[in-house]
Structure 1
């Protein structure tokens, strides 16, 4: 069922209940006269209808102001204004249409205050329910984003190109340097194991993420040699970060930039003022424009988990991404 439709049903249903509840004494007193007097019928219709509209507007006012973080003074003034409007309209109809005395105005005020008190309670219930639904929706969105990032990472690692390059490098190392080939195999298994083990994690300690980066850097530098330089400047490890964030940014830098002896690629990973800055030299390959899905997914994860978006800056010399960190 549509969320807005459900909210509307709730507001009107509760408002109708409140209109009947506060006007029950009048309805009870008029019951003996209902069949004989049109005035009695009109009296009940007017009391219920005006109270119903008042309750609907009251609940919607409290709900809207809460969502908009309206200042308390303005919020209180609007509630008072609505109460005055209710008392004025209903009292005027009672006097001019029903022919009642001005002595019934205190009764109208009491009913208006009663509806306001009860409607305020139901408004808060509606606001809390809406907040819970938003949290559930964000959690589901986060799970989806995590799965997409994990799937993308696994596809990048387990695709034929990655395995071919890794196994080709390993085969060469076995013949050239058996000791280094064993280290290479160990680092490769660490990268794959980490990726598989992070499927259920939303956040990981920065220390663990950097351990993965170290293994990943080892694999890359065996392949690219001195043509790829990755420099880390991180002293404080007391933070958390969405898993595979740094690997994604390093992959992007390698995928979209030229790496050669004439044009080496440098990547810097630096911690400054509770943010992680990942920047690289910008020498794009011809026709290397990507879809940008990886960065979009990464931004969504940080927006939900850290409450801040990822900052991206680019110029002719450098591409920079700023990741907000979450203190442990």
Structure 2
């Protein structure tokens, strides 16, 4: 978010033991699977190019369609890296190939199913039916919002001002009906923003960053294709933060994009939500499929304000 069977028949006790070990191994692998993500209906961030906002596509609810049941932070996990516009008969379709620079923009799209018709039934995932992301090719621009859907299946995403350059837009969703029912998809398309585009080098890997007076520290060294623990700690004025508010049924949302191709991955903390006093430490299971630099965007809420922190993580 990567022996040949012996000819003589084994004893009943040996067979039972092997089945028990296989079951335990499957359960362990399942527990390390990452959950997929959400955004917020808030729209406040002081980071240049890191705007985010949303119009809710469905009323908020504590009931989600998480395939992992009631485990804290464990929700849907989409397969693939999100770089394709179509998968398993589902397609992200849009007439928007360019968007204006320096002003608010509207991106309209549909998701068509295997029958070629727009899909109108979507399951709730992290209290929303559609999660939409816009990311600049150099990973300096990031927006995360929830579009609204018309009766005919057309989604409308209201984007904040975009800098000139190439952008990729992602749609994350789960069909509620049809052949893809219950399956998680992340599809994307590219869009151009005209103007004099200047590519900004990705900041070097670092263990911490600051946003809105908060210091965000990430500890852990993920390895390619392996589930690995990450710990995110949040402090302000040198003191641990303990007033994180629930954010889409969790305390933080972590999205990662790979340098070069903008491959997509998203994770959630496994920390249990216990009211408006989360923090300072949040635990994640990270499984990033490709080596290299990943740009992490961590979103958390305090005092009704959504903050977005960004840092670069090196994956070996």
Instruction: Give the number of the structure whose residues are more often strand, by fraction.
Output: 2
Between structure 1 and structure 2, the one with the greater Rg is: 1
Instruction: Give the number of the structure whose residues are more often helix, by fraction.
Output: 1
| Same fold, judged at TM 0.5 (above) | no
